[in-house]
Structure 1
Amino acid sequence: MSETHVTASTQFVEADGVHFAYRRFGKQTGTPLLFLQHFRGGLDNWDPLVTDGLAQDRPVILVDYAGVASSTGKNATTVDGMADGIATFVKMLGLTQVDLLGFSIGGFVAQSVAYRYPDLVRRLILTGTGPRAGEANPDPKILQVAGNPVPTEDDFLFLFFSPSKTSQAAGRSFWTRRHLRQDQDPPSSIETLQAQAAAIGDWREPKGELYAYLKNIRQPTLIVNGHTDIMVPTVNSFILQQYIPDAQLIIYPDSGHGSLFQYPELFVSHSALFLDA
């Protein structure tokens, strides 16, 4: 690869008055893999071992939602609104089809894109995420920590990794890798926090028959999670696998919400096998 997670330049494309910030690197040919980020996350909240690993054999695209970090425009307050923005972004790049990797709220958005724009999505990877009106964790500490104005390393270790020494050590290694790039994407705003919190609240409300929409997600789907995800409880991954017609599920041991960052090499291997099938 001529460019990597750390060296790829930040580019912009305008659509509907929004300047979407994105980075593209990896191979020049093949179906692009578009990464959709977690709550408040930007271009540099990904793990370079994951992005560079998957970029070895395909184009990789990282993007900020409208209003997030380097992207301009108004934050959407629903998941479907965020999905509309992503669909517009893909079309403005001149792409007719992509693979989607959605993490956490990005997994909500990926489901919405696949359901509402089926011709745009070839394959789907959902990690640390759940269905509309899925099971929530009632622990108030989770919302408190996730809502801290400037998330710290300790916040990520609590939210994304299990309490074991092994998982916490993996979390600290991820935190180091996550800061390797010198010109980091700026943090998201309080407005982004509020808008995405509203989008999550809306996503938790059932609309029609529970989980029925999942039966209409026809794309081959890989679902990945940690053994004990406190952010989006792991049982939601089983629900996704049971209702999406062509879905397979992997649960990594001694891990939580950020299992893909705890097991980056394994996640890349499993994802590559799935995408290349």
Structure 2
Amino acid sequence: MSEDTPRFPAPGGPVGPLWVVTRGSGPPLVLLHGNGEDHHVFDKMVPALGVGRMLIGIDSRAHGRSPRGDGPLRIATMADDVAHVLDLLGLPAADLLGFSDGGNIGLELAIRHPARVRRLVVVGANLFPEGTSAWTLTGVRVMHRVVAALARVVPPLLVVAERFALMAHDPEIEPDDLSRVRVPTLVVTGERDLVRPEHTRLIVESIPGARAAVVPRAGHMLPTQAPQRLSALVAGFLAEPLPGALFGGTLEDNGTKT
């Protein structure tokens, strides 16, 4: 990271199409939140993750303080947004932590802009909507239909309907495309995550050298439900030398391989 990298301390500021908040100095770590959230979902993790790093919290388009922008609201488009923000910050590459839809964006970024990602941690990510449990997907699609219908008479709900559409019909990542992800990758889920365990295994097995980590007795909302445990996993992974991170295997909650 260059000393000339612009800083945007809280509450942050616009960087191209998105709202960005930065904290600290050192190797950059980009934080990407989930659907319907903003960068504050990581607030409980900032003290641990910010030691010796520059944290870059990004509000995805149509979330937080970032505007909706033009064109379709898609996970792939949001990944392109992140690459553009890194360009504007003068960062050729960065480590990345993505939660839920932010994890999906991180996967798309590693596929579409592979040189921009140094190390990748995805938490509660999925490749396509069917990767979530049946009851979750059914509920999301029902809500999408209801909100989309209401949006015809209440225009401000259009953006909310689009966010539901992201979960109901997006992303569309082919497992074969993950073979192009050649950076150290950690895939984290909660033991009671709404992402199906077999789907998480598919992600791990499709990325060369990827690791899996399961946080016991936790659900999907790991950044808020288990921030200390998740922070320990992420910090431990990012602390490893880059050449030694591609080993495969499984990580338990305490960070040891089995």
Q: TM-score range by the shorter chain?
A: 0.7 to 0.9
Name the CA shift for 1:197/1:57 in 2 (closer, same or farther; >3 Å): same
- Deviation track 1:100-149 (CA, whole Å, cap 9, x = no partner) reads 11111111110010111011110000001122465232223455679998
Question: How many residues are aligned here?
Answer: 222
- Partner letter of residue 167 of structure 2? I
Report SS of the residue matched to 1:39: coil
Aligned to 1:128: 124
**1:273 Cα deviation (Å)?**
1.3
| Alignment map for 1:72-221 (pairs within 5 Å) | 72-74=67-69, 76-132=72-128, 134-139=130-135, 140-141=138-139, 190-203=157-170, 205=172, 210-221=174-185
Question: Is the 2:31–2:56 Cα contact (8 Å) retained in structure 1?
Answer: yes
Aligned to 2:54: 59
CA distance, structure 1, for counterparts of residue 103 and residue 144 of structure 2: 17
- Deviation track 1:74-113 (CA, whole Å, cap 9, x = no partner) reads 2642111111111111111111111111111111110010
Aligned to 2:20: 22
- Partner letter of residue 21 of structure 2? R
CA distance, structure 2, for counterparts of residue 73 and residue 240 of structure 1: 29
Question: Is the 2:141–2:164 Cα contact (8 Å) retained in structure 1?
Answer: no
- Partner letter of residue 193 of structure 2? D
Question: Is the 1:147–1:193 Cα contact (8 Å) retained in structure 2?
Answer: no
CA distance, structure 1, for counterparts of residue 33 and residue 145 of structure 2: 16
- Partner letter of residue 115 of structure 2? D
Is 2:187 the partner of 1:223? yes
Question: Is the 2:140–2:168 Cα contact (8 Å) retained in structure 1?
Answer: no
CA distance, structure 2, for counterparts of residue 148 and residue 90 of structure 1: 36
Name the CA shift for 1:14/1:252 in 2 (closer, same or farther; >3 Å): closer
Any gaps of 5 or more consecutive residues in structure 2?
A: 1-8, 148-155, 241-258
**1:249 Cα deviation (Å)?**
0.6
Report SS of the residue matched to 1:223: strand
TM-score, normalised with respect to structure 1? 0.72
- Deviation track 1:217-267 (CA, whole Å, cap 9, x = no partner) reads 11100111111212x323322111111102111111111111343322222
Question: Is the 1:83–1:109 Cα contact (8 Å) retained in structure 2?
Answer: yes
Question: Is the 1:33–1:101 Cα contact (8 Å) retained in structure 2?
Answer: yes
Report SS of the residue matched to 1:224: strand
CA distance, structure 2, for counterparts of residue 204 and residue 63 of structure 1: 19
**Over aligned residues, Cα RMSD in angstroms?**
2.6
Aligned to 1:273: 236
CA distance, structure 2, for counterparts of residue 205 and residue 78 of structure 1: 9
Aligned to 2:201: 238
CA distance, structure 2, for counterparts of residue 148 and residue 53 of structure 1: 40
- Deviation track 1:168-197 (CA, whole Å, cap 9, x = no partner) reads xxxxxxxxxxxxxxxxxxxxx633322233
- Partner letter of residue 157 of structure 2? I
